[in-house]
Amino acid sequence: MTQTITMIDYGASNIRSAQKAFEYIGADVVLTEDPEVVRRADKLVLPGVGAFGSGMAGLNQRHLPTAIHEAVRRGIPFLGICVGMQLMFSEGHEMGVHQGLDLLAGKVVRFPEKAVMRHASSVNDQPPATSHQPLKIPHMGWNQLEPAWENPLLAGVKMGDYAYFVHSYYCDPVAATAVLAWTDYGFPFASVVAKDNLYGLQFHPEKSQSVGLKILQNFMEKIV
């Protein structure tokens, strides 16, 4: 049976790429900015690339936050991708401090300029770095996932599998138990989050080849 994914259009870029990825694995995707369609959804996806503040402005202009909260309280599975994952948190610190959807407690903050690479061989396929090599911001390229606990979203994903990242800010949850997978970029940061019916991916699954498509398929087929 074909699964219907309701994808929230709030004016962010890269939404079409996420839509095509879900369609590639057989989903029927409804792209909408209508709060009533969001309220009635069976599964919600919030994708997007851009800044935290402009993302929340797009959601607010379309009167979507209340509809999202009502759907989440109803228990439907919700997946945030890239900036969509960041918007799930309480506040973002990009170009000022902005209130988020507050579905998950925590902040979205910039990678520290003076952090150093510890495992540079796993980032962008570069040679191993010394402990004095500063991080490049944005964090861009392939990096490894380190699952923290078992969850159907990551079924079939192994320790050390690669995903593709492009971001300068990372999510810092209040509760470490919300982190489903970590990724190292000078220090461990939350690359996948999960709590109850809430899920988030910091990387781009549509650019992460078989690993990314597997995770999207898990959300479509295994998350109920």
Range in 10-14, 69-73, 208-212 the model is least confident about: 10-14
- Burial class from Cβ neighbours inside 10 Å (0-12, 13-18, 19+) for residue 78 reads buried
What whole-number percentage of the chain has pLDDT above 70? 92
Confidence of residue 118 (pLDDT cuts 50, 70, 90): low
Enumerate residues 6+ apart whose C-beta is below 8 A from 150.
none
Write out the catalytic residue numbers. Answer: 82, 204, 206
Checking if the pLDDT of 115 tops 70, the result is no
Task: Give dist(CA 158, CA 147) in Å, integer.
Answer: 8
Q: Taking residues 101-125, report their average pLDDT.
A: 75
Q: In this predicted model, what pLDDT tens digit does every residue of 121-159 receive, in sequence order?
A: 444 444 444 455 788 999 999 999 999 999 999 999 999
> Number of H helices and number of E strands within the chain?
6, 14
Closest CA to 221 of 77, 82, 81: 77
Residue type, 154: L
CATH topology for 4-221 is Rossmann fold (3.40.50)
Q: Where are the alpha helices (DSSP H) in the chain?
A: 15-24, 35-39, 52-61, 65-73, 83-86, 209-221
